[in-house]
Amino acid sequence: MSKTNLHANRPLSPHLQIYKPIPTMVMSIVHRITGSALYVGTLLVAWWLIATATSERQFDIVNMVYGSWIGLLVLLGYTWALIHHMIGGIRHLIWDTGRGLEKDTTTKMAWGSLVLSVALTILVWIVAFTIA
């Protein structure tokens, strides 16, 4: 038997394009994306801390950047990524105990994590602007 005949009948690996997106799949992908985004956000926090420890001029520069509309938008995204990733981690922790693994429960938890992360992000920003 030739080598081409051996490979001709093997199934191809499915790609994401053939799957119908379901909430748990989408939240899994978003969880990975937010985890990656947290690396960049943590660098921004480090920049702020270093500027705070360096000089008033450096601190003013960082505050100017973070206080701009694009800086605030990035900070809003970082806040949401942090909260969403945390809630996703809690969801996975619950699953690790063997609870909530039924299909309808996982779907409800996926939607709940999205809604809760948005609500908590809004709440954090309301509190932050109320205090400031």
**Which of the listed CATH numbers 1.10.10.10, 1.10.1740.10, 3.40.50.620, 1.20.1300.10 matches domain 22-131?**
1.20.1300.10
Task: Answer whether residue 1 shows pLDDT above 60.
Answer: no
Give me the mean pLDDT over the 9-22 stretch: 74
* Confidence grade of residue 18 (pLDDT, cut at 50, 70, 90): confident
Look up the pTM and report it.
Answer: 0.84
Residues 6+ apart with CB under 8 A from 80: 34, 117, 118, 121
Provide the mean pLDDT of the chain.
Answer: 92
Determine the pLDDT at residue 129: 93
* Whole-number pLDDT of residue 44: 96
The yes-or-no verdict on residue 23 having pLDDT over 70 is yes
